[in-house]
Amino acid sequence: MSDATPQKRPGLVPGILSVLMLLALWMAVAGLADDPRTMPSPLAVAARIVDLAVTGELWLHAGATLLRVLASFAIAMALGIALGLWMGRSQRADHWLNPALVIALNIPTLVVIVLAYIWIGLNEVAAVTAVALNKIPLVTVMLREGGRALRPDLDDMARVFGMGWWSRLRHVVLPQLAPHIAAAARAGISLIWKIVLVVEFLGRSNGVGFKIHLLFSSFDVAGVLAWALAFVAVMLLIDIAILRPWEAGANRWRRDEA
Amino acid sequence: MRLDLAGKSFAGRSILGPLRLSVERGQRLAILGPSGVGKSTLLRILTGLDRDFQGRLDGGERLAAVFQEPTLLPWRRAVANVTLPTGCDDATARVLMAEVGLAGHEDKFPRQLSLAQQRRLSLARAFAASPDILLMDEPFASLDPDTAGRMIDLTAMLLDRSGAGLVLVTHDAAEPSRLGAVPVRLSGNPAILQTDEASQPPA
């Protein structure tokens, strides 16, 4: 969140430079190792990415992964916000649900995935459910803090004027939760796509995780890196093109316009 | 609106004693008393925000409130702060804003307005709800005398025109007469209403 930093912006230079330095380091290590099979050079990986993009394979599998990411993200955010808001506003709900929340936070990701596949079946519902279940407790914890900090005076105002529940949620509650939702979303989307890969690795027949599974069996390091980097680029794009502008819009009222 | 209060206590300590109070459209009542006596508590009961008391509150009138603080939605523009809580239309909101002297500020966010402007916006919001009874909790406190005076005249004008009833909570004995309100005094422990002999409150 950039509430208090309207100073000069650093621009793109440091970001691009640091990426270039990482690439140079990678080049150097690949040159020293001199073993293209286990440590391929950035150029070899870039060639693989271009290859995947040209054959269309990239869009097919990255698309499948992206759909799973979006579906589980939407479910996890919706349920996590509802649960967190409830626990933040009602002490009773907090007392009763907190132990379950602590347990849920500490169940290993892998256990949830394996159980979901066993209980629900090797299908899409199980995959999305497993990812969402892994993420819901984290969203809940972050939103509970927001729910506790809601302003009681605005609540009173809304009640006196008889605002409907939907209007109250939209204009009174959600704007106060926006910073917490944004933080949960940014933290969530990167966590979720990593879990989606595990889910695909273990039990799906398409998606980036599935491709990595195949490449792992043939120890194709260049292929693994190509898929991973291509998808990192997609997720960065989502962060820059969707999440950041939304956050900036939601925080517009904090800045002086005149 | 009629309140028949048997008592109100916080954590075992009695704040308000038995009292009766009723207000209808066109009637104006001012509740005076030193700070901490329970005026705001009484007003919260009247607004329906505090239901934890012994007694009965009857009414079905449309209410609106002006709180001690402006209590605006900082993330919504000024005009939306009038339309969203009250459900009035945009044109009505703009007319009311112009009447309280906020023409030209419609698209500002609350933090871009001065405190006096925010209070006037909160007054415009209250009248936008076209209430039968307006409840005000120290709405002129912490304003300089000039600004407070203008705000009182504005309130009186809007009350005259809309015909709404008024319950005003204040510690300033000069305010009730300027608004044409019948003063009653809240005092004692637990606090009860005492009538000034000079003016008969509506019973």
Residue A79 clears pLDDT 80, i.e. is over it: yes
The pLDDT confidence band at residue B141, using thresholds 50, 70 and 90, is confident
Residue A227 clears pLDDT 60, i.e. is over it: yes
The pLDDT confidence band at residue A258, using thresholds 50, 70 and 90, is very low
Could you give the 3-state DSSP secondary structure of residue B182?
Answer: strand
CATH number for the domain whose boundaries are B1-62+131-195: 3.40.50.300
Joined tokens for residue A235: 């997720």
- Stated as kind and residue range, the H or E segment containing B137 is strand B133-137
Give me the pLDDT at residue A13, please. 83
Give me the pLDDT at residue B14, please. 85
**CA A174/CA A154 separation, integer angstroms:** 12
Helix-strand-coil split of chain B, %, nearest 5: 35, 25, 40
Q: What is the pLDDT of residues B173-188, one digit of tens each?
A: 888 889 999 999 888 7
Q: Tell me whether residues A160 and B69 touch, CB distance under 8 A.
A: no
Of the candidates B69, B74, B85, the beta carbon closest to that of A161 is on B85
- B130 has a chain A CB within 8 A of its CB: no
- A78 has a chain B CB within 8 A of its CB: no
Give me the pLDDT at residue A34, please. 86
Enclosing domain of residue A125: 58-253
CATH value at residue A88: 1.10.3720.10
Q: Tell me whether residues A160 and B76 touch, CB distance under 8 A.
A: no
Interface test with A, best of B61, B84, B106 (most A CBs within 10 A): B84
A111 in a structural domain: yes
A39 in a structural domain: no
Mean pLDDT of chain A: 89
Where do the H-state alpha helices sit in chain A? Answer: 13-33, 42-55, 57-89, 91-106, 109-120, 124-148, 152-160, 165-168, 174-203, 208-217, 221-238, 244-250
The pLDDT confidence band at residue B197, using thresholds 50, 70 and 90, is very low
Could you give the 3-state DSSP secondary structure of residue A207?
Answer: coil
The pLDDT confidence band at residue B195, using thresholds 50, 70 and 90, is low
Q: pTM here?
A: 0.80
A133 in a structural domain: yes
**CA B62/CA B172 separation, integer angstroms:** 27
Q: What is the pLDDT of residues B157-171, one digit of tens each?
A: 999 999 999 999 998
**CA B143/CA A81 separation, integer angstroms:** 40
Give me the pLDDT at residue B161, please. 92
